C-alpha cells in the first residue's frame, strides 16, 4: 500500500494522546510545536507530562480511556503499554473517522510518525511505512549532516525575497524564474559566503580599539 505524504496544520485542533509513559511523552512535543490542543488520558504520567499540564501546555485527564474520550478529536495517539487498550482506541477512532497512530502497531495506524529533520521552516520527513524505523533514523542522521543550521537563515531570506517580489512584480512568470534561480545551490553558496563575510566584518569592527 502506497502512503500519501503531507504536512498537516494542527493549530488549535484537538489531539488526544492515550497513555502517559515515556512513549507518549516522546510523541507530544511535535504536537505542541504545531500548536495543537493536546489532551492526555492516563491514570499516571511522566514528570515531563505532568509539568506540561501544570504549565497549561496540555490537558491531563487522570483516568483510564473510556467511551467518548475521542469526541471532537482530529488526531489520536494510542501509546499505552497495553495492547488491548491501544486496540480499543484504534477501533473507536476508526469508527469515528479520526486519524489514529497506535505506537509500534503498523496494522492499527492511519498514519506514521516520520523521522524528521527540522531547520526552521524547513522540514524533511522520512518514512519507511513502518518497515524499518531504524533505516529512517539512519537517513535522518545523514540528512541532518547534509542540511545544517545555515538552511534556516537561508530559507527565511528566500521567504522574505519571495514575499517582496510577489507584492511588486507585474510578471508572475519572470518572478517564478528568478525565485527558482535564487533557490539554486549556487545562490546558497553565495549566501553562505556573504554570511561569513558579514560575521567576519562584525567581529573585526568589534575588536577595534579607538
> 114-157, pLDDT tens digit by residue?
999 999 999 999 998 878 889 999 999 999 999 999 999 999 99
Q: How many CB atoms lie within 10 A of CB 48?
A: 15
Q: Could you give phi then psi for residue 116, rounded to 5 degrees? A: -125, 140
Which 8-state DSSP code applies to residue 114? P
**Entry pTM:** 0.81
**What does the pLDDT average to over 160-187?**
92
* pLDDT, tens only, 84-109: 999 999 999 999 999 999 998 888 99
Which pairing describes strands 37-41 and 99-102: parallel, antiparallel, or unpaired?
unpaired
At 1 the pLDDT is 67
Per-residue confidence (pLDDT) for residue 210, from 0 to 100:
38
Q: Is the Cβ–Cβ distance between 83 and 18 less than 8 Å?
A: no
Residues 31-58, mean pLDDT to the nearest whole number: 97
In terms of Cβ atoms closer than 10 Å to its own Cβ (0-12, 13-18, 19+), residue 16 is buried
Amino acid at each position: 500500500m502506497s502512503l500519501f505524504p503531507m504536512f498537516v496544520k494542527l493549530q488549535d485542533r484537538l489531539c488526544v494522546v492515550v497513555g502517559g509513559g515515556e512513549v507518549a511523552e516522546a510523541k507530544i512535543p511535535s504536537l505542541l510545536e504545531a500548536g495543537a490542543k493536546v489532551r492526555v488520558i492516563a491514570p499516571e504520567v511522566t514528570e515531563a507530562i505532568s509539568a506540561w499540564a501544570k504549565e497549561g501546555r496540555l490537558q491531563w485527564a487522570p483516568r483510564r480511556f473510556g467511551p467518548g474520550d475521542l469526541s471532537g478529536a482530529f488526531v489520536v495517539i494510542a501509546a499505552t503499554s497495553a495492547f488491548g487498550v491501544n486496540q480499543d482506541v484504534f477501533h473507536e477512532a476508526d469508527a469515528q473517522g479520526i486519524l489514529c497512530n497506535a505506537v509500534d502497531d503498523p496494522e492499527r495506524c492511519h498514519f506514521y510518525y516520520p523521522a524528521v529533520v527540522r531547520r526552521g521552516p524547513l522540514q524533511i520527513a522520512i518514512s519507511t511505512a513502518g518497515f524499518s524505523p531504524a533505516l529512517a533514523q539512519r537517513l535522518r542522521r545523514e540528512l541532518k549532516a547534509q542540511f545544517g543550521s545555515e538552511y534556516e537563515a537561508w530559507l527565511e531570506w528566500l521567504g522574505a525575497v519571495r514575499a517582496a517580489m510577489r507584492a511588486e512584480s507585474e510578471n508572475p512568470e519572470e518572478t517564478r524564474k528568478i525565485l527558482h534561480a535564487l533557490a539554486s545551490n549556487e545562490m546558497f553558496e553565495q549566501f553562505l559566503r556573504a554570511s561569513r563575510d558579514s560575521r567576519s566584518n562584525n567581529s573585526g569592527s568589534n575588536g577595534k580599539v579607538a
